[in-house]
A and B are shown apart, each in its own frame.
Chain A
């Protein structure tokens, strides 16, 4: 019941907002859905909801990603209220083009996390594309249109391949002598007897398909465009929640490979694409001039790190999951701050931003903190996770991979710092003194930054247990 409500509440409120266009209704629907979703997710933590019907079921992996989505959405909802109703904003009255799709987007992402039927998972991930494309095209400008079109085409095509991969798994399940079910449990039961070529082909297709959506290089090309053209709250949600949902799609296939006892192939592919992603993203981080594109490439990098972590297995799988949590919080915060910067300076070009520490008394220092956090410096959570992954690589007999990873991470951090830090210092001459930042603009990134900091120092036992059990189900070890 809880599971059904988790999906249905945002969907129903989204449909309501679609037909009822009053600003007050829109805002109420947005905040109400966020709050209810958060409450229901918390309820799922207290007692795990039983499977609902044939399609809805929540396991540890699902719960982890559901929680990330829920927390992030709450932050986005609060921030979006301030962002969209601000008088400086271009189109304050167009809430009805924003809120309904955002809520349907949330429903689709929730369904991704709360199902173990791979065909339903596919439907849900495709729905996330369709509901978020209008959000990317919220500012009706040529570049936004281009970004939305690329996003739609590239992700839809990629995801169509993932459906083929899903059907391949079904065929392999049938060939293993079972009646094809396409549920995770059924597939894992049949996995040892599946014909290897079909299982591998299925994993490749899923990795390519869902990997496109999660932004693994070289299939990431839509990502910087969509993230830089979408409104900042949407960018935050895309980067922090959507990419994770696509990653979940890959992980489900990986779980089947694990159950088949033939995961070496899948691990190799994950490592390969992961490292390629980190390297490509680092190359584009160097000399990047647009802040939001910079953040987008950083997302590509972080997705690569997670893929590498899962590919390595062992303690690195735990690190990868912790990285998912930390990256989502930090990246969403950064996108909020990019939105504040955009409002203060009228641009996201790094060259235009000067003296942000003085000009934006809250956002400036937060930006500094989160840049250090996303770069993996202690005491933030991402330091813990990246350190865990590198250490697991070295300890697990891959010292070269560990060294390569550490080197790439260092270069990526320096590249980001070189772009963002100059904008913080200096005097905000010409355009006057400090800008007053509203509570709604400052509180969400502040809360997220606090979360990243706390998780770096102390992981709550409940979360640690969950991360451990997720890592175990992904072929790793708890930490």
Chain B
């Protein structure tokens, strides 16, 4: 990749995520009949939190301090593996989807470890639920990545996008549509959105992700929130590339990507605003269903003799 392309990638990755999160929150507020927080509110939140001092509970260890940092670092590196505005990514290589999935798990692991480190029973409960949901989400993620990558016969995202049919890929290749549906479910699950989890709830018994980060404050919390935004942005970028023909590179690519990201964020907002949260015992079924769909897609690919 050329230096300007890398710079553009970094700018998008570092600056755009809070805005995408802001759009999702805004759409949800509109659907509820409220005016909602300003679009740029996440940036203000981050600035406010970064300006505060760090307070950590007594009895917590370095694991608690490392949780937010590793979580953020993991999703940022994952963001460097995913093509954003162009056809390639700064750290992309021929096996980057596997690294991508591994980094997401790494971030989840450290978030859970930090939650367990507090010794609080609530956070432990959240961590255990997160672990369970993660176990049900990851098969879907892997299968959908397989569905994206198998036609290119390469475990690299850049190669997979290059092998797409020209134009709107899913019209010519309906499995892309299936992949998009499953990926959207994975996106909701990975980012703890409704109907799997509710980022806005503060009822301890129903919180999953939020309860894990309850003890973080100040800059730690800022890292957590920023990490969440980046994660949403990165997975949404996959979805955008799956559904839209993003022009390779340059400002056109950046604009297309941001438009797509805004659309995905809007869709997340619509889902959040119009769907009730699933009861906890129903969540695994929902995620298993998504994984089953992806599995069927992969099976169709193999059955066509064109993996």
Q: Would A and B touch once assembled, by the CB under 8 A criterion? A: no
Q: Name A residues whose Cβ lies closer than 8 Å to a Cβ of B.
A: none
